[in-house]
Amino acid sequence: MKDVAKLANVSESTVSRVINRNIPVDTSTRRRVEAAIQKLDYKPNLLAKGLRIKRSHLIGLVVPEIVHHTFSSFIQYIEESAVSRGYNLIIGNHKDDPGLEESFIDMLVRRNVDGIIFTRVSDENGVMKVIDRTRVPVVVIDRAVEREQLASVVLDNYKAGALAGEHLGGLGHRVLGCVTGPLKIALSRERLAGFRDALARHGASVDDDSVFEGDFKFESGVRGAAALLERHPRMTAIWAQNDLMAVGVLKHLQNIGRAVPRDMSLMGMDDIILARMITPALTTVTQPFEQICEKAVELLLALKEGESTFSGRITMDPDLIVRDSTSAI
């Protein structure tokens, strides 16, 4: 900054005003300073600036798995929303490990980020004790806990399950199975409850023996389909609580020679791009990733600026997309 000030024949405080644009500077002076900055290739120390103004223009984003289709969508849209507002991301991958989750969020707090958006490991994790010790604003996405006093933006997961149950029940299916996500996570239980309640209205039921607890990964869809069909060989429909597990179910059905949807109707959830690429194209329940992410960033920055003290849950609606993998019995 001293070099820029000397070349432009101004004070260092004038250079600072030009860079920060917080105090007006006359046009000719600004042009001299900007020309000096360009000639010297001067780049302000953002860390020092952040400490001085108590703003880092960094948002921490913590997700279970960076390469997972669902969470890569969250990363994409949160980054787009943050960058459009002048913020950058620090992305962490906790791999469903509570220890990694706590340590990464603690690191973000010590890095003086302006806010944190995260998807928790489970309902029972201890990350809240880290968050409670800090004033950094936090917004939860995807995996929120009911009645928690923490800002969250999530899908209406009960309604998502109800949409799946209503669709399959309306097609006449009465012997059905469900491959869930981990049941230690509230959204998996909420989706299952909605699925069961909607099917009950059609005179069908899904007991515990018709439920396989997966982990949102392809392999658990394969294992889930095998287990469910071994227990109920006459099963005619399966709903997997995400598209990746649904593709795993499809793989097992193909391996044993059962055609979809002729022999088995199959549904997924999330509407990842893979759902449109496979054959048959997957009927699914979609969640509005872009709107969830936009609202999460908007809420986080409002909390940062003191424009909001919101500590509840914002719920977004899912939608049903019918493709080729389901049919009437």
Query: Residue holding tokens 């049941």?
Result: 183
Say whether pLDDT at 51 is over 60: no
Pick the CATH number of 2-44 from 1.10.260.40, 1.10.8.60, 2.40.440.10, 3.30.930.10: 1.10.260.40
Report residue 127's pLDDT band, with 50, 70 and 90 as the boundaries. low
Pairing type for strands 283-286 and 319-321 reads antiparallel
- Rounded distance, CA 166 to CA 169, Å? 5
Q: Does the model's pTM come out above 0.85?
A: no
Say whether pLDDT at 57 is over 80: yes
Domain 54-154+289-317 has CATH 3.40.50.2300: yes
Q: Print burial letters for 74-99: b (CB count within 10 Å at least 16), e (below 16).
A: bbebbbebbeeeebebbebbbebeee
SS3 188: helix
- 77-101 pLDDT tens trace: 999 999 999 999 999 888 888 888 8
* Residue 258, CB-side half-sphere exposure with 13 Å CA sphere: 21
Say whether pLDDT at 105 is over 90: no
> Which runs of E-coded beta strand occur in 215-260?
237-240
Q: What is the location of CATH 1.10.260.40 in the chain?
A: 2-44
- Spatial CB neighbours of 270, under 8 Å, sequence gap ≥ 6: 69, 70, 73, 242, 243, 284, 285, 286, 287
First to last CA, the chain: 74
SS3 327: coil
